């Protein structure tokens, strides 16, 4: 069979139902392409035994080793026997344990070599495999015809396996499939391959599964890695081209009274970076095609001010701007801070309002009916030039007078359909301009790989007047005195008129499933993490008995959340909240200048970027900040490495690079869910920057000539397959 057809064939039609079911349930492999893209994890040299010292307990492994000894003994407390074989790499040894399988003594003779697969355990301090699968080579491998057929060549591919599916079973299945694959339509155009001296797809798949030398592996990996980068970059280049072809209304104000009046109200001077990015946005808004720009900046770099100036600019040009926030807490915070920043400029038509101003409407799902009706009228009439809301903005009955600009805060929290629904609310056939903000700095390689279809603006300066935040780790089991001192310090901060955050991973009610970042790697096992309800109660009853403690989490009503945040943020509140115990609902956007201290309990439960965002809630004014990371994680563990990294720097761009190194690749690209198939198997954005840049140039060239890929059907199918993959939602920005 030739061309694409074989790749789409279900494995059940080639391997038989039993084998196909095992591959599907164990490894998620359903088609021929799934199997052929299940590349070997490593290669064992025929004469080289696996280094057993490198094995980790709990790891599913396939090792090449030699049988050292075999013993059989009766069980102590019941009938039957235990067979124990010791295998060795010449330096280290481990045991294989079989229950009631004395007959295996005839197979596992001393001196025999083979592949042994199972989960690494430990018994009485010694590594072991219990009931492992194994494949033995006969004495004198050169004369073992079966072994030579099954494992031809000097390199033995070792595949990722699962319970019920061994490496050599994958090996056999690949053999059957490769025998039926002759030639495959190649997604890489011939010119692209020739310029880079890359082998064809058919040859690459043959070489990676059945190499005769390391050079074969290198040639295959080079080609397949470039293909991953290239197909992704073609998708992004195609989307850039589509965006440029869409119509948009030019938003060029004849005068800018709102922007000028707002600038005059600012108590500080815009940084050079803020001015430069504002000009980039103004140039985009003046275009005939929709702006599609990502604004990234570290915590406190002034992104909201830049976005607000852009919104005021479109209002000056006669249009409206919508700010979409991921949570009600953040939407209310944005509404409050923007209204406060604009002052009379946000009260046009009201007593004391400025004639050149506008109105700022808030739309959330929990608003009272009368307030919602009033705001909806302001939106549809155009009286509200700025509209702030959650997903409530996406509802069908929310109509805009002339939606010109959509600002999306923390875009990764919204799905494709949600963003498209808001964009569809523009007038006529035109599309609104789109500005996406993220407070998580993105390394250049990740930006090229996952945000390659947007223009990226970066704010890397911290506005004058922002204070430093000191970060320290408290290892609770080893430093109980330090934790007691932390709560004492919290009381001291309150007595100085400051505010204190305490963050916990869980809410604490019976239905709570935890609120930690789902992308947090290496979440430790053990006792349930600290909860808001428990910690707040303990603090109120003990070390902070004389302090007013409040709680905030996502299951509270909108009125209660707003009331707590108002009392926490307002230093002159009559019934203040002085210590706020919260979940990560306060992670982004919450701005309380008098907050000077944050204690993150069970900090090892959070990802590095999330910890950095949480830390950014303190030190936002002129007062210095303090962040304490409470943990019981051991030194040297992955969780502790994250905390050490956070304590080492407050630079979000440095941390983003460290995060990229610490996280699994799939986490960076948004596919950390267990069992998900990764689109990028060989391409690592942290290491292959040159490959990504080269692929981007080649992809742009092909799209410039053939935007629909009508002349490249195999490439078009590969791009379509990528968009169907679960990562497509993460990649989609339009």
In the predicted structure, residue 513 carries a pLDDT above the cut 50: no
Q: Which is higher by pLDDT, 496 or 349? A: 496
User: 201-209 vs 214-245: helix axis angle to the nearest 10?
Assistant: 140
Residue 413 has pLDDT above 80, yes or no: no
The CB density around residue 56, as the number of other CB atoms within 10 Å, is 8
Residue 193 — very low, low, confident or very high, per pLDDT cuts 50/70/90? very high
Higher pLDDT, 477 or 614: 614
Lowest mean pLDDT segment, chosen from 34-38, 60-64, 446-450: 446-450
Task: Return mean pLDDT, the chain.
Answer: 84
- To the nearest whole percent, how much of the chain has pLDDT over 90? 41
Amino acid 673: pLDDT: 29
Burial 251-262 (b: 16+ CB within 10 A, else e): bebeebbbbebb
120-160: pLDDT as tens digits? 888 877 888 888 888 888 765 444 445 444 554 568 888 88
Higher per-residue pLDDT: 394 or 93: 93
Mean pLDDT of 408-426: 64
pLDDT of residue 551: 95
Q: What is the pLDDT of residue 525?
A: 47
Residue appearing with tokens 């009706």? 373
Distances (CA, A) of 601 to 389, 475, 598, 607: 31, 11, 10, 13
Q: Is the pLDDT of residue 728 over 50?
A: no
Q: Is the dihedral of CA 603, 607, 610, 612 positive or negative?
A: positive
SS3 282: helix
Say which range, 45-59, 113-127, 173-187, 528-542, has the weakest mean pLDDT: 45-59
Distance CA(330)–CA(334), nearest Å, equals: 6
Lowest-pLDDT range of 412-416, 569-573, 611-615: 412-416
What domains appear along the chain, each with residue ranges and CATH number?
42-158 (2.40.50.140), 257-285+301-438 (3.40.50.300), 469-649 (3.40.50.300)
Give the percent of the chain with pLDDT over 70.
Answer: 86
Instruction: Report the run of H or E that residue 122 belongs to, with start and end.
Output: strand 113-123
Contacts of 302 (CB under 8 A, 6+ apart): 270, 271, 274, 459, 463
Q: What is the pLDDT of residue 733?
A: 36
Question: Is residue 181 a contact partner of residue 5, using CB atoms and an 8 Å limit?
Answer: no
**Range 105-132 burial, b when 16+ CB lie within 10 A, else e:** eeebeeebbbbbbbebbeeeeebbbeeb
Q: Which helix (H) or strand (E) holds 331?
A: helix 328-342
Give DSSP secondary structure letters for 369-414: HHHHHHHHHHHHHT-EEEEEESGGGGSTT---S-EEEEEEESGGGS
Facing residues of 364 across strands? none
The number of beta carbons lying within 10 Å of the beta carbon of residue 97 is 17
CA distances from 438 to 240, 466, 596 (A): 20, 19, 23
Across the range 251-277, mean pLDDT stands at: 92
């Amino acid at each position: 069979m030739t061309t694409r057809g074989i790749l789409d064939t279900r494995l059940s039609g080639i391997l038989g139902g039993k084998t196909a079911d095992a591959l599907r349930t164990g490894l998620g492999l359903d088609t021929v392409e799934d199997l052929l893209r299940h590349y070997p994890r490593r290669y064992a040299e025929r004469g080289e035994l696996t280094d057993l010292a490198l094995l980790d307990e709990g790891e599913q492994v396939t090792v090449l080793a030699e049988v050292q000894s075999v013993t059989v003994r009766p069980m102590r407390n019941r009938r039957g026997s235990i067979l124990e074989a010791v295998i060795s790499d010449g330096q280290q040894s481990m045991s294989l344990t079989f229950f009631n399988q004395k007959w295996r003594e005839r197979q596992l003779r001393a001196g025999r070599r083979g592949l042994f697969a199972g989960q690494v355990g430990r018994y009485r301090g010694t590594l072991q495999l219990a009931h492992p699968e194994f494949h033995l080579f006969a004495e004198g491998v050169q004369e073992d015809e079966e072994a030579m057929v099954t494992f031809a060549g000097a390199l033995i591919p070792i595949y990722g396996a699962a319970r019920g599916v061994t490496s050599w079973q994958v090996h056999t299945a690949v053999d059957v499939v490769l025998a039926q694959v002759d030639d495959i339509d190649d997604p890489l155009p011939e010119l692209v391959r020739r310029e880079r001296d890359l082998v064809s797809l058919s040859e690459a798949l043959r070489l990676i599964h059945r190499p005769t030398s390391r050079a074969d592996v290198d040639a295959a990996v080079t080609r397949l890695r470039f293909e991953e980068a290239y197909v992704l970059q073609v998708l992004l280049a195609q989307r850039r081209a589509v965006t440029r072809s869409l119509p948009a209304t030019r938003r060029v104000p004849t005068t800018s009274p709102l922007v000028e009046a707002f600038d005059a109200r600012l108590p500080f001077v815009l940084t050079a970076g803020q001015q430069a990015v504002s000009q980039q946005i103004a140039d985009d808004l003046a275009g005939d095609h929709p702006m599609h720009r990502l604004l990234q900046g570290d915590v406190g770099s002034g992104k909201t001010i830049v976005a607000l100036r852009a919104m005021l600019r479109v209002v000056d040009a006669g249009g409206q701007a919508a700010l979409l926030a991921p949570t009600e807490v953040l939407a209310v915070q944005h509404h409050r801070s923007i209204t406060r920043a604009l002052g009379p400029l946000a009260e046009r038509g009201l007593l004391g309002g400025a004639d050149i101003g506008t109105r700022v409407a808030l739309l959330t799902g929990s608003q009272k009916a009368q307030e919602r009706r009033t705001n909806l009228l302001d939106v549809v009439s155009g009286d509200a030039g700025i509209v702030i809301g959650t997903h409530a903005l996406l509802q069908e009955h929310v109509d805009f007078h002339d939606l010109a600009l959509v600002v999306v805060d923390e875009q990764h929290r919204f799905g494709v359909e949600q963003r498209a629904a808001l964009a569809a609310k523009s007038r006529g056939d035109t599309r609104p301009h789109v500005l996406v903000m993220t407070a998580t700095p993105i390394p250049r390689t990740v930006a090229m790989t996952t945000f390659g279809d947007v223009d990226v603006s970066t704010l890397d300066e911290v506005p004058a007047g922002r204070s430093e935040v000191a970060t320290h780790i408290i290892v609770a089991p080893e430093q109980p005195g330090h934790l007691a001192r932390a709560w004492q310090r919290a009381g001291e901060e309150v007595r100085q008129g400051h505010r204190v955050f305490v963050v916990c991973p869980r809410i604490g009610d019976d239905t709570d499933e935890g609120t930690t970042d789902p992308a947090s790697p290496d979440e430790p096992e053990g006792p349930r993490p600290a909860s808001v309800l428990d910690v707040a109660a303990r603090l109120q009853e003990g070390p902070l008995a004389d302090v007013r403690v409040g709680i905030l989490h996502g299951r509270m009503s909108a009125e209660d959340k707003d009331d707590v945040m108002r009392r926490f943020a307002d230093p002159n509140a009559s019934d203040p909240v002085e210590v706020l115990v919260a979940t990560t609902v306060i992670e982004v956007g919450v701005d309380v200048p008098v907050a000077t201290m944050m204690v993150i309990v069970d900090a090892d439960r959070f990802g590095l970027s999330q910890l950095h965002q949480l830390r950014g809630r303190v030190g936002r004014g002129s007062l210095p900040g303090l962040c304490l990371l409470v943990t019981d994680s051991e030194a040297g563990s992955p969780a502790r490495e994250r905390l050490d990294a956070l304590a080492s720097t407050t630079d979000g761009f440095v941390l983003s690079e460290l995060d990229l190194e610490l996280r699994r690749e799939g986490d960076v690209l948004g596919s950390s869910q267990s069992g998900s198939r990764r689109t990028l198997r060989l391409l690592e954005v942290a290491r292959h920057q040159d490959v990504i840049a080269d692929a981007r140039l080649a992809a742009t060239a092909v799209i410039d000539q053939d935007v629909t890929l009508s002349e490249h059907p195999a490439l078009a199918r590969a791009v379509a397959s990528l968009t169907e993959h679960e990562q497509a939602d993460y990649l989609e920005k339009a």
